[in-house]
Amino acid sequence: MKARTLLELVTLSTTLYTISKETQVLEKLGELGEKGKRKINSLAKEHLFDDKGNEMEFVEKMLQKAKEAKDDLDLKITGLIEDFYDKINVAHVKQVEILEQKMAELNKTLINAESRINQLEKNAV
């Protein structure tokens, strides 16, 4: 009997623990939902104007804010990528292109020098 009662108590306590964790998750989701609602409401109350001076509709405001967020994210990602490349000393595409141009110029110079040497050898003979 005692083992059965102990097992029932353990099962009950784990069930209560699980329910409390689920309650905490639901409370956190509720808080995040409220925070999102407040931000959307503040966006709806905000008066934004387009290029012509007309007030933008709610959907246009949302699209404008989404574009601004995308642009900000692009800037942050670009900065992080540049920092990453600088840290690991990887040649950027521009640096590779510059090196390829220099190599092409040096090849032309080498060809010109070889032709001069050949011309001098012919004149010397």
Say whether both 79 and 97 belong to one domain. Answer: no
**How high is the mean pLDDT of the chain?**
81
**For residue 108, what are the domain limits?**
91-125
b/e sequence 58-71, b meaning 16+ C-beta within 10 Å? eeebeeeeeeeeee
One domain, residues 80 and 116: no
* Residue 71 shares a structural domain with residue 26: yes
Residues 68 and 110 in one domain: no
User: Domain check: are 108 and 80 in the same one?
Assistant: no
pLDDT at 1 exceeding the cut of 60 = no
Alpha helices in the chain (DSSP H): 2-45, 58-88, 93-124
Specify whether 72 is located in the same domain as 100. Answer: no
Q: End-to-end alpha-carbon separation of the chain, Å?
A: 118
Same domain, 48 and 81: yes
- Specify the pLDDT at position 91: 58
List pLDDT tens digits, range 68-103: 889 999 899 988 888 887 777 665 677 888 899 999
Domain count, the chain: 2
Q: Which residues pair with 65 in a beta bridge?
A: none
**pTM of the predicted protein model:** 0.37
